[in-house]
Structure 1
Amino acid sequence: MSTFIAAFVVLLLFFLLMSIGYIVKKKAVEGSCGGLGVLGIEKACDCDDPCDKRKRRMEKEQARNELLNQNRII
């Protein structure tokens, strides 16, 4: 039982430290600079013909980016 309590306290300590880091830096936790790009994969779904759900999501992203570019001041 003492091992469980010690592990729980250590976990809470890490959460506390990460939250303090977020509050101080105002920056979210990020992943590593590796990932799929290191393996030469451009996207998570590396298929030639994406599914309909992915196509709709890509169209929404493209429309949002076009709208942002239209309303950009600089």
Structure 2
Amino acid sequence: MSTFIAAFVVLLVFFLLMSIGYLVKRKAVEGSCGGLGAIGIEKACDCDDPCDRRKRRMEKEQARKEMLEKNRII
């Protein structure tokens, strides 16, 4: 049980230090490798012909962007 408590306390200390770092720098924690973009993948679904569900979602997103652009005030 003491091992669990010690591990929990260490974890809390790391979270506290990361939160203090965020408050000081105002910069979110980010990875150093660049993620999928570093290996040439621009999106999570990098297939040439997306599935039907993905196509419908992409159409909805495009329609929403067009509606927002059309109804823009400024």
Could you state the TM-score of these two structures normalised by the residue count of structure 1?
0.68
Identity of aligned residues (%): 77
Partner of residue 11, structure 1? 11
Aligned residues: 70
Structure 1 position 9, deviation (Å): 2.1
Structure 1 position 11, deviation (Å): 2.6
Q: Does 1:51 align with 2:45?
A: no
5+ residue gaps, structure 2? none
CA RMSD of aligned residues (A): 2.5
> Closer, same or farther in 2 for the Cα pair 1:64/1:13, shift >3 Å?
farther
Q: How does 1:32-43 map to 2 (within 5 A)?
A: 32=31, 34-43=34-43
